[in-house]
Structures are given as C-alpha cells and as structure tokens.
Amino acid sequence: AFGPTITSFVRPEPVPNPQDFVLWSFFNSMFCNPFCLGFTALVFSIKARDRIIAQDLPTAGSYGRTAKHLNIAALCLGIVATITCITLFVYY
C-alpha cells in the first residue's frame, strides 16, 4: 500500500550581499570632495556596511546605491574641476 518515499532537496540560490563602496567613498572624501559629496557618500557607505552586518539587505542595498550615485557625482565634478583648473593655469 505504501511505496518508497522520494525526497527532493532544492538548494536555495545564494543571495549576493549588496555592495557598500567604502573604499571608493574614502578616496572621494580625501581627493574629490566637491560640495562634500565624498563625505556624504562615505556616511552612506558606512550605513550600508552596518545594515549588511545586521542582515538587513534591502536597506543596505538602498544605502549602497545612494553611496554609488554620490560617488559618481563627486568623481565627475572632481574631474571637471581638475580639468578646468589645469586649462585655466595653462591658458594664463
């Protein structure tokens, strides 16, 4: 009446941790810090790292994305300011 029991094991997909961009934020806060964007990115990066340790991955992802966008803005503005200063220096 009863046959063999078949058990299947489904291995869950590993969920990657969100990135926190702490090194990039630290670089931008030291070298490319227009309008304090690098420092603000560093704050959000540290918040993201704290949320990763607390296993709150959605909030960590949100803080990480904010840090990434602030880092991109700080780096672009820093590069533009550097090129402008070099150009003005060479021109005069």
pLDDT tens digits for range 72-81: 999 999 999 9
Pair of tokens at residue 82:
């550097």
**pTM more than 0.95:** no
* DSSP states of 57-76: HHHHHHHHHHHHHHHHHHHH
Could you give the CA distance from residue 53 to residue 22 in angstroms, rounded to a whole number? 14
pLDDT at 1: 58
- Residues of the chain with confidence (pLDDT) below 70: 1
* Whole-angstrom distance, CA of residue 32 vs CA of residue 54: 30
Spacing of C-alpha 81 from chain mean position: 23
Are 74 and 41 in contact by the 8 Å Cβ rule? The answer is: yes
Q: Over the chain, what is the mean pLDDT?
A: 92
